[in-house]
Structure 1
Amino acid sequence: MSRIVVTLGPATQDPAILEQVVKAGADSFRFPASKASVASLAELAAGVSSVAAGLGRTPDLLLDLPGAKTRFTNDDQFSLKGVSRVLVHFAPVPSDVHRDVPVLGLTGADISGRVDAGDILLVGDGEDALRVERVEPDHCVTIPLTTGFLGKRRGVALPGGSVPASGLTDRDRAALETVPGSVFGAVIISFVESADAVREARAVMAAAADGHAVPPVIAKVETRAGVAAVREIAACADAVLLGRGDLLLDSGPLEFFDLCEAVRTGTAEVGCPLVVGTQLLTSLSDGWLPHRSELAYVSELLRSGTSGLMLADETAAGTAPVRTVELLRDLRERYRGTGEVPPLFPARPAAAPAGGE
């Protein structure tokens, strides 16, 4: 029986909508720390816990740490429609999206020295793209190839292996120190390429636990290197999250399916719970029925017994978060039946005490 993991965002923060989402079948809530402070997310998580408790529910509250992914610095979204050029600084300078030529800074992994004229910068999960027209020492000038809305602090990648290196950042470590004893019941770490990152995350939390339990660690596998080490990672982590968005950016479209299948089979062989995200039912934000490809893929994941399915933009920013969760719940009942949904971490029903594995 798959758990339904909902990413909280502007579309689901209203208490009335949040209550409907919980009633619709949300089992877990994900709180991404890529665009918000951990303290503010903890406040949101406490609100979710309160609403759920009023309905007799105790969902998982999952803090998702961003890792070293390169991101734009803009806090205002803007449309690429009608924009002929975008200037991208390689440093974390403030963005100004209101100029005739919008200016964007970059945080995270440094891509300077790896950008040449003609390269394509992929934005988000590849929804938008910018072609590099020319490169200067501290910036590049790009031409938009798409006309979508460039949202707040979207991720940036060069296609084919230019995602950030694995390992925890200083920001990740600072966040991990606050997790034991907090409202969050588990933590997700990004761009995991070996079991060492999982062990380090546990060690950081154990050192700061002060008698509190060390929460479970979910390892996000989203690079080719991570897939190659998935059995080692799955044997150490409490669960694995297949991050399909960044995996596609790293792999390209031809290798993508085989890599996803490698994660599914690798985690199954080790007996590690697997959560699959993202873009599972995004078409419901634009239409009444889901795309056939989405419906078929989600149904197969449910039928195969995948431990969790994670909704992202569908519930964080989509126009139909409640209906999306309801459909996922109904599909789960169709293919897995009704009954109590098992915990996400069956191997560790209670978190290990501080200092232990």
Structure 2
Amino acid sequence: EIFQAVQPGHTLLLDDGKFKLRVIDASDVRIDAEVMTSGVLGSRKGISLPDTVLPLGAMTENDRADVDYALSLGVAWVALSFVQRGEDVAEARKIARGRASVMAKIEKPSALNHLKEIIDLSDAIMVARGDLGVEMPVEKVPGLQKQITRAARNAGKPVVVATQMLESMIYSHAPTRAEVSDVATAVFEGADAIMLSAESAVGKFPVEAVETMDRVAMEVERDPLYEAIIHAQRIGPEATGADAISAAARTVAETLNLAAIICYTASGATSLRAARERPAQPILALTPIPATGRKLALVWGLHCVLTDDPRDLDDMVAKACRIAYQEGFALPGQRVIILAGVPLGTPGATNMLRIAFVGDGSEDY
């Protein structure tokens, strides 16, 4: 299929873009190309085709088997590489069958032509800057990072920024100043999560890399400019009751200077809507489903607690206040705002907002 898709004039990139070739002629069994950037090419190196839309799905038979095995182990997320169109995400969702959430990695130029469709079908988006920077001019990547992050944020989908964030820490105990600025920029732009790759997987200083990234992110979130930027990025809620209530919860929490926003959530939808609003208060997500708690761990501003469903509305309020106190989010006498769907436990039915005072949290949850 690759041989049939490549056309004269297309570019081939080998070994993460170190070698560039231009296709002169192509047939079903052979590609003739002119080497534009020469050097010594090692074995088992990857090939990228930035100008070619491949007539292939994003998943091979081996990928499907790997996903099935991962799902049997209870993974929370499946990250889909080299997504080109919405159909690729739909295929992965069909395999996952709700057992895990699907994250689309945006790393091919062709994906940008179908970005809205891909975002709509995905549970989260990853800005995979490594391969994106190989297949496109590197000077375009910063702008695309902002564009993809903003599009995912507007859709209320979590967005992860990844690749080479602290690359020098693979071999060095300290990052470069440019890397620190890069991490900070991703946080300022509103990313839900920032990700290490080789730094923690094969690097010599994995713990130091994680600690560095955490310190940079925490420092950015303390910066008054960060709050101003996040406030400027806010968009109006969608015309649904659940979105209107989530937006109202943020407004009420900030106006009354409440201690926290507490969401009862089964599917995670209520907490995702609350996080989309980027409130000044922390968000406490209460769920009886372990898989939901694991899924929400990468979402901006969320702290997940596993707890049984409340028996009734009074128990719901009492339990929320108790957990807020015991988890350190509120002191006795402070107020919190509670979001839930009634009837309790109905997925995606956020239709209730309530303000409550926190007691001494003497009972267990």
| Range into which the TM-score falls when normalised by the shorter chain | 0.5 to 0.7
- Equivalent residue for 2:182, pick from 285, 297, 317: 297
Using the TM superposition, give the Cα deviation of residue 162 of structure 1 relative to its aligned residue in structure 2, in angstroms.
Answer: 3.9
SS in structure 2 of the partner of residue 297 of structure 1: helix
Which residue in the other structure is 2:83 paired with? 192
Using the TM superposition, give the Cα deviation of residue 110 of structure 1 relative to its aligned residue in structure 2, in angstroms.
Answer: 3.4
Which residue in the other structure is 1:129 paired with? 19
Which structure 1 residue ranges, 5 or more long, are not aligned?
A: 1-108, 207-212, 351-355
Using the TM superposition, give the Cα deviation of residue 140 of structure 1 relative to its aligned residue in structure 2, in angstroms.
Answer: 7.4
Change (3 A) 1:121 1:225: closer
Instruction: Output aligned runs, 1:1-357, within 5 Å.
Output: 110=2, 114=6, 121-124=13-16, 126=17, 128-129=18-19, 145=38, 153-158=44-49, 160-162=50-52, 164=54, 165-206=56-97, 214-336=99-221, 343-344=297-298
Distance 1:233 1:118 in 2: 25
Change (3 A) 1:252 1:235: same
Using the TM superposition, give the Cα deviation of residue 121 of structure 1 relative to its aligned residue in structure 2, in angstroms.
Answer: 3.3
Distance 2:46 2:171 in 1: 23
Q: TM-score, normalised by structure 1?
A: 0.53
| Equivalent position amino acid for 1:122 in 2 | L
Aligned residues: 232
Change (3 A) 1:321 1:140: farther
Change (3 A) 1:130 1:317: farther
Cα deviation, 1:305-329, whole Å, max 9, x if unaligned, reads: 3111121121222222221111001
Using the TM superposition, give the Cα deviation of residue 153 of structure 1 relative to its aligned residue in structure 2, in angstroms.
Answer: 4.2
Q: Determine which structure has the larger helix proportion and give its number.
A: 2
RMSD value, Cα: 4.0
Distance 2:177 2:214 in 1: 17
Which residue in the other structure is 1:13 paired with? none
The alignment-based identity, stated in percent, is 24
Cα deviation, 1:264-306, whole Å, max 9, x if unaligned, reads: 1111110110011111110123444323322212111123331
Which structure 2 residue ranges, 5 or more long, are not aligned?
A: 223-280, 285-295, 307-346, 349-365
Using the TM superposition, give the Cα deviation of residue 239 of structure 1 relative to its aligned residue in structure 2, in angstroms.
Answer: 0.6
Distance 1:253 1:162 in 2: 18
Change (3 A) 1:197 1:112: closer
Distance 1:286 1:181 in 2: 35
Question: Is the CA contact 1:242–1:275 (under 8 Å) kept in the aligned structure 2?
Answer: yes
Distance 2:36 2:179 in 1: 31
Question: Is the CA contact 2:12–2:20 (under 8 Å) kept in the aligned structure 1?
Answer: yes
Distance 1:205 1:115 in 2: 35
Distance 2:9 2:106 in 1: 30
Using the TM superposition, give the Cα deviation of residue 237 of structure 1 relative to its aligned residue in structure 2, in angstroms.
Answer: 1.1
Q: TM-score, normalised by structure 2?
A: 0.52
Question: Is the CA contact 1:179–1:215 (under 8 Å) kept in the aligned structure 2?
Answer: no
Question: Is the CA contact 1:242–1:274 (under 8 Å) kept in the aligned structure 2?
Answer: yes
Using the TM superposition, give the Cα deviation of residue 184 of structure 1 relative to its aligned residue in structure 2, in angstroms.
Answer: 1.8
Cα deviation, 1:73-132, whole Å, max 9, x if unaligned, reads: xxxxxxxxxxxxxxxxxxxxxxxxxxxxxxxxxxxx7358849899763313x3x32668
| Equivalent position amino acid for 1:110 in 2 | I
Distance 1:242 1:316 in 2: 19
Greater gyration radius: 2
Larger RCO: 1 or 2 (CA < 8 Å, sep 6+): 1
